[in-house]
Amino acid sequence: MAKRKDSLKKKRKGSGNGLLIAAVLLTILFLAGVMSLGALYYLEKNKEKPQTIPPKITEAAAVVTQTEEQTKESDHKNTSEDSQGESVLEKQSEETSESESELEMSSESESQTKEDESESEEESTEEESTESEEVREAKEAVLEKYKNLGMITGVRNYLNMRKGPSTDYEICGVIFKNCAVEILEEKDGWMKIESGGATGYVSAEYVTTGEKARKLALSSMKYMAEILTDSVDALYEPKEGADVITTFLKGERYDINGETKDWVEIEAVTELSGYVKRETVYTGYFLDEAIYFSLDGVSETRQDLIRKAFEYYGGTYVWGGKQLTAEGGVDCSGYTMCLYKLFGVQLPEFSGAQAEVGMTVDEDTIRPGDLIFYVGRYPGVIGHVAIYIGNGKIIHAASESKGICVSSWKYGPPVIMKNVMGD
């Protein structure tokens, strides 16, 4: 009986142990299932959730991307456009080889050139439709002077004229955008042209011919007054006996501010206009032409200064302006002050003060790069300054209508001439 009781106790004990083990296993399986479900839920939730980047990192990445794009764009631009395109009224100074300098003076992107030509054609068509028959006939008469008309296009500012058909030949003048030329011959990509009394060679790619040239010429003509007599006094008022403001010389052309039956008011530079008798001038339409001059025998520094001065041709005139940039503008003394500063020459702000700097020169000793000073609106008071470029020509910030342009150095009597370069 005792043995039977012991056997029953052992069976009960073994059964209890089995239940405990089963319970533990079930608990473990339950926890594992819960953990698996949690993991699946977490993974699924994070799979749908987008990755977020802190704002500062996003901004920094955008800046880097923009910088890389700008760098690529700049590199592409530098390889497809000339250095002159970057420097017009913005870039301060640059040293170039002869071939680079040629491009600097002459090239522009093809798309811009086509756009300019398209705009010129549209303007010409619009003008032809609104102009009177008398004006159209007067303009057509100007074109009859040309046997083989060409117009300079595809340049941002100016193009070199050379003594022979390659860049190896000496520069003998410059010719500007929308200037008219007589084409004498064409060979091996170069054209021999005559313009403004100068004969030279230019690359044929910058000369538009045919009907496009004719339309461009018609839209580019300017109504001006040309002095017919050796000299003519310009008066403050349109009446006999009025005070003389300045003297204009034969062959010079001036903008017309107004005209009557007997008098024509012409303007030389800002605040310097006067009345001349109608019989002393010819009023009509003119096309811009080449400027002949030579820098032969002139120092490299002075040559560089003249070339730099031409880069700003056509720039904006702003009275009192001292900013030689596309967004700014300059007056006559602002132009000289900013330009000469690039070459280490410090000039005062005003023309009268600039006339007190440097060494006085005369008509026999003046060289390209010297300054010429003129009387302004008031007798005996210096009111204008210009840069002598050679062959009786100056470049200066003339007026709001002309901007930075080239004129005869005797558009009015010079008061004093100065060498401010120190050489």
371 CB contacts (<8 Å, ≥6 apart)?
336, 354, 355, 358, 385, 386, 387, 388, 417, 418, 420
384 an active-site residue?
Answer: yes
Q: Which of 172, 179, 338, 396 is catalytic?
A: 396
pLDDT value at residue 15? 52
Helix, strand counts (H, E) of the chain: 10, 23
Q: Which of 179, 332, 338, 405 is catalytic?
A: 332
Name the one residue in this structure whose structure tokens are 């491009």.
103
Query: 336: buried, middle or exposed (CB in 10 Å: 19+, 13-18, 0-12)?
Result: buried
Question: Rounded CA gap, 305 and 311, in Å?
Answer: 10
Question: Rounded CA gap, 290 and 292, in Å?
Answer: 6
Question: Rounded CA gap, 231 and 238, in Å?
Answer: 17
396 an active-site residue?
Answer: yes
332 an active-site residue?
Answer: yes
- Ranges of H-type helices in 272-363: 300-311, 332-341, 351-354
Confidence of residue 279 (pLDDT cuts 50, 70, 90): very high
Q: Which of 172, 179, 338, 384 is catalytic?
A: 384
Instruction: Convert the pLDDT of each residue in 171-192 to its tens digit.
Output: 888 898 899 999 999 999 999 9
pLDDT value at residue 231? 86
Is residue 37 predicted with pLDDT exceeding 90? no
Instruction: Convert the pLDDT of each residue in 358-372 to its tens digit.
Output: 999 999 999 999 999
Please say whether the beta carbons of 231 and 324 come within 8 A.
Answer: no
Which of 74-83, 171-180, 182-191, 410-419 has the highest mean predicted lDDT (pLDDT)?
A: 182-191
In terms of pTM, does the model score above 0.85? no
